[in-house]
Structure 1
Amino acid sequence: MTYLPPHFEETDAATLHALVGAYPLATWVVSHQGELLVNHIPFLLDAQRGEHGTLVGHVARANPVWQALGEGASSVAVFTGAQAYVSPSWYPGKLVHGKAVPTWNYATVHAHGVPQAFDDRVRLLDLVTRLTQVHEASQAQPWQVLDAPADYIDSMLKAIVGIEIPVQRWVGKWKVSQNRPVADRQGVVAGLSAQGTAAALQMAALVQQKTRP
């Protein structure tokens, strides 16, 4: 279970899917025989497959996690988006009453589901082709799977196993200062904006979005 105060809960499907697309590397946790198997896997979301969409990715065949999936193991894929430290010195209220402490803001999405493994060559080739097209799209000269020799691609496909997770439940948590007065939220936006880093600016934008009426 996730600690999720109502004011931090995000339920808009488009917002959740957007974070998964922008931050595709998930911390994937599988429950197996009393242990938690933890891996870091980039997933693609096929939002049109299944009631809540389907995540697809792959692991090395040498990774034992895929062999644990035949037992209907439950799992969660955690996607972490923007995150930033928040200083109490940014709160105007601190100057009035001093009742302020540091905190950490973040946006995260949890995708719960029972994963399945597959090693069909056609499906694997389709998967790696889609992954490549998505992540090479920003390159000046995008690399394509067909750029590599066919026998080399065949050997690489034999070394991986596909993972598919029909999502049963999404949990979105946007901890972006909603529990603070508007003046304090505006102070957080100003403080983060002054830092000027990409991470700080991303979080400032999220705080600003939740501050608007």
Structure 2
Amino acid sequence: MFIPEHYRNTDPEEIRKFLKNNSFGILINTIQGKPWGTHIPLELRTHADGSEVLVGHIAKANPQSNNLKDGDEVLCIFNGPHSYISSSWYKKEEVPTWNYIAVHVYGTVRIQNQEELLKALHLLVDKYERTSENPVSIDNMSNKTMHQIAGIIGFEINIKDIQAVHKLSQGRSQDHATIINELEKRGPAEKAVASEMKKLSS
């Protein structure tokens, strides 16, 4: 990913937090010479030895699953808040732009065994059911329902490289207050960008 140095995020803890809070990503590999992407939850996990992996699963019916083999290289893309930035908010004439946060993770695949897949599904469901009024649990699902697991494959991605960008009007400190003010007048996405800009400048 092309990242101008002043937009590059190199803070490991900030990147980890981003991945945990924006875990619905895009898994990309190549099928018959063409790039292929699937939108899925990809959860950041840490092994006992301190190594970090992304954990996910896809349907066996998805052609992408046929190309997920141990050792295969993949790219995972995660997007955060983003917003159009009007140059009418600047003190001096300039072109409009877009503010955004994104992370690209590169790694190699390791296919999970059935026990590992079940454990990963438990963790995934428990994470997102925490705030449900009537949370469901894999433990309480019938054998008929759980039989659907036969239709998916689970995997871990051993992380080899992380590239993170937070393009938040760095270099335009004289315009930050106006940009934030204008963004806060708009919708949830714009407000989220304004919030991130405040964190960066604090």
Q: Do the two structures share a fold, i.e. TM-score over 0.5?
A: yes
Native 8 Å contact 1:108 1:174 kept in 2: yes
> Distance in 1 between the 2:48 and 2:68 partners?
20
Letter in 1 for 2:126: Q
Structure 2 unaligned spans of 5+: none
> Within 5 A, what are the aligned runs for 1:104-119?
104-118=98-112
Residues 42/71 of structure 1: CA separation in 2 closer, same or farther (3 Å cut) = closer
1 CA distance for matches of 2:51 and 2:67?
A: 24
Over residues 131-158 of structure 1, what are the superposed CA-to-partner deviations in whole Å (9 max), with x where a residue is unaligned? 10111111122111123212321x1110
Confirm whether residue 185 of structure 1 aligns to residue 185 of structure 2: no
Whether the aligned pair in 2 keeps the contact of 1:79 and 1:109 (CA below 8 Å) is: yes
- Offset of residue 71 of structure 1: 6.9
Matches of 2:152 and 2:19, distance apart in 1: 22
Structure 2 residue corresponding to 1:137, chosen from 130, 137, 140: 130
What fraction of aligned residue pairs are identical, expressed as a percent? 27
State how 1:3-152 maps to structure 2 within 5 Å: 3-48=2-47, 53-70=52-69, 72-91=71-90, 93-94=91-92, 99-118=93-112, 120-152=113-145
Deviations 1:141-199 (A, max 9, x none): 2111123212321x11101100210111111100110032x12122111111122x221
Residue pair 1:26, 1:40 contacting (<8 A) in 2 also = yes
CA contact (8 A) 2:26 2:78 kept: yes
* Separation in structure 1 between the aligned mates of residue 78 and residue 167 of structure 2, nearest angstrom: 14
3-state DSSP of counterpart to 2:57: strand
Name the aligned partner's letter for residue 39 of structure 2.
H
Name the amino acid aligned to 1:210: L
Give 1:50 deviation, angstroms: 6.3
User: How far apart are the structure 2 equivalents of 1:36 and 1:85?
Assistant: 28
Alignment partner of 2:194: what SS?
helix
TM-score by length of 1: 0.88
TM score, norm. by length of structure 2: 0.92
Q: 1:59 to 1:34 in 2, by over 3 A?
A: same
Give me the CA root mean square deviation. Answer: 1.7
Give how far 1:52 is off.
Answer: 5.2
Deviation at 1:41, TM superposition (A): 1.3
Q: Secondary structure at the match of 2:30?
A: strand
Contact 2:60 2:153 in 1 (8 A): yes
Q: Is the 8 A contact 1:31 1:74 kept in 2?
A: no
Paired residues of 2:111 and 2:155 also in contact (CA < 8 A): yes
- Partners of 1:178 and 1:211 within 8 A in 2: no
Structure 1 runs not aligned, ≥5 long: none
Q: How many residues align?
A: 202
Tell whether 2:167 aligns with 1:168. Answer: no
